[in-house]
Amino acid sequence: MTLTFNPDKYKDLLTAYLPKLIKTEAENEQALGIVEDLMHRERTPEEDELYQLLITLIEKFEQEYYQPIQQNNPLSMLLFILEESERSRDDLVSVLGTEDLVNNILNGQEKINTEQARRLGEFFHVESSLFIE
């Protein structure tokens, strides 16, 4: 059975959580709490949309607040999502192929390419663009 997106359910979620641009660390912590809750369960299509929206808002805030010089930091995002999802390097090996490749990416010696970003996005159920500069 394919789950379909229900705009009314999504509207209810948006009304309940009121996502908006994150401007303070407290708002960021609140959004991170919601993401963590959503991360650890099977999500409906509407919850998945909210989840991806919040990750995008969190990423935007953290890029501006913590790393104002860098435009996009795929490695930081990968490490953040890896930690928050309680996954391991071994899980990344199963997604990306080899331990050497995973180590090179996590050590910043190799950038994530488009295909790897696609696989990571599917694995973590997030937009692949989070992993691309």
Per-residue model confidence (pLDDT) at position 69:
46
Per-residue model confidence (pLDDT) at position 70:
47
Q: Between these two residues, 34 and 87, which has the higher pLDDT value? A: 34
Residue 102 half-sphere exposure toward CB, CA atoms < 13 A: 16
Q: Both 76 and 64 in a single domain?
A: no
pLDDT (tens digit per residue) in 81-127: 888 888 888 899 999 999 999 999 988 899 999 999 999 999 998 88
Write out the residue range of the structural domain in which residue 93 sits: 72-133
Q: Both 65 and 76 in a single domain?
A: no
Nearest to 24 by CA among 66, 52, 83, 53: 66
How far, in Å, CA of 34 to CA of 55, rounded?
10
Q: Both 133 and 76 in a single domain?
A: yes
